[in-house]
Amino acid sequence: MPEPEVLRHRVDVVVIGGGQAGLAAGYFLRRAGLDFAILDDRQEPGGSWQRVWPSLRLFSPARHNPLPGWPMPPQPGVDFPDAEHTVDYLRRYERRYELPVLRPVRVTGVHESDDGFLVDAPQGQWHAHAVISATGTWQSPYVPSYPGMRDFAGRQLHTASYPGPEPFEGERVLVVGGGNSAAQVLAELSTVAETTWVTRRPPRFMPDDVDGRVLFDVATRQRAEREAGVEDSGGVAALGDIVVVESVRAARERGALHAHPMFTGLTRNGAVWPDGSARSYDTVVWCTGFRPALRHLRPLRLRRESGEIPTEGTRSLEHPRLHLLGYGDWTGPASATLIGAGRTARTAVSEIVNTLSRSRRASAD
């Protein structure tokens, strides 16, 4: 039997990922008058916010978390919006600007072509003069390797699949990691379970008055300092690693934020430390971060050992028509936040517009 015909599409730009960064890119692409498609592998709008744990909240009030064009409405009765409110905002934003999001479409590969890229998916193939990759990190949880992990008879899970505290009531839980997710998960687990918190180095808490807006301003100032060639002030890292949100503050007040050094390995029943001491646990929660979800770019062979792709701003150094949005500070100040996604998307789309305009003028001459 003949193989089914592959549907082929031609557009100016393909955006891979329909979360906050992809939608921000769509807003500016729409304003620029370009023909584009947003390919999203989720079943519903909302990006990774659909999968975070129920109690996760933004680090700052709604007014400090706008996507371009339409500020996030406040959530009644709370200062810091929760995940459900954020998903609703992204859903309404997508409809408001009639963004051409196709879902579920899982991109399997991006290949170089004579005048751009071929973007492959089971649903078809897109030819694009430029590509914006905005898949984020949530789909690539990172768990370090430790001796005994396969021997541990209890439950192991990563932050990406943490469901909230209820299933762990009465358990002995080991929380691993020294960042925001570890502190927040520990804070709520410690209300229902016997918890132990382990970190590779002593946790560094930010001042109580630091929120998401402060972090964005600090990251932006650091980028400006680097571009100006002056010694930067240390950026967000100089403030600490953990934002003291309300739940973390409450855990601190009840003495639940005591961190222990890392264990040397897991055993069948728990964990063992360098001094030979051991404790039993029912569950290990790995709050050990994420890596960029860039499997779809493998055919371009761009990644380095760090997992990052060399860029200038958002633009790939090796493929100037490829831009990366929302993967962290290496793709723009606070680019993994709502407000940061919008500002980096504006720059990326502006560069794409200029690149395509130059290319079309050259073709016409």
Whether the pTM exceeds 0.75: the reply is yes
Given the structure tokens 């003495």, which residue do they identify?
255
CA distances (Å), 208 to each of 91, 131, 233, in order? 32, 40, 20
DSSP designation for 280: E
Q: What is the average pLDDT value for the chain, to the nearest integer? A: 90
Tell me the one-letter amino acid at 172. R
Per the CB < 8 A criterion, the answer to whether 185 and 287 are in contact is yes
Asked: is 155-205+240-286 a CATH 3.50.50.60 domain? The reply is yes
> Cα(152)–Cα(156) distance, rounded to whole angstroms?
8
Helix or strand (DSSP H, E) at 25: helix 20-32
Q: What superfamily does domain 8-139+291-363 belong to in CATH?
A: FAD/NAD(P)-binding domain (3.50.50.60)
The Cα angle at residue 141 between residues 37 and 62, in degrees rounded to 5: 65
Backbone angles phi, psi at 178, to 5 degrees: -115, 20
pLDDT per residue of the chain (365 residues) written in tens, 0 to 9:
344 455 689 999 999 999 999 999 999 999 999 999 999 999 999 999 999 998 899 888 898 899 999 999 999 998 889 999 999 999 999 999 999 999 999 999 999 998 899 999 999 999 999 999 999 999 999 999 999 999 999 999 999 999 999 999 999 999 999 999 999 999 999 999 999 999 999 999 888 787 767 666 766 676 666 666 676 666 666 667 888 889 999 999 999 999 999 999 999 999 999 999 999 999 999 999 999 999 999 999 996 766 678 999 999 999 999 999 999 888 887 888 898 899 899 999 999 999 999 888 777 66
Angle between helices 83-96 and 20-32 (to 10 degrees): 20
CATH 3.50.50.60 range(s) for the chain read 8-139+291-363, 155-205+240-286
Question: Whose CA is closest to 146, among 288, 281, 241, 280?
Answer: 288
Tell me the one-letter amino acid at 71. P
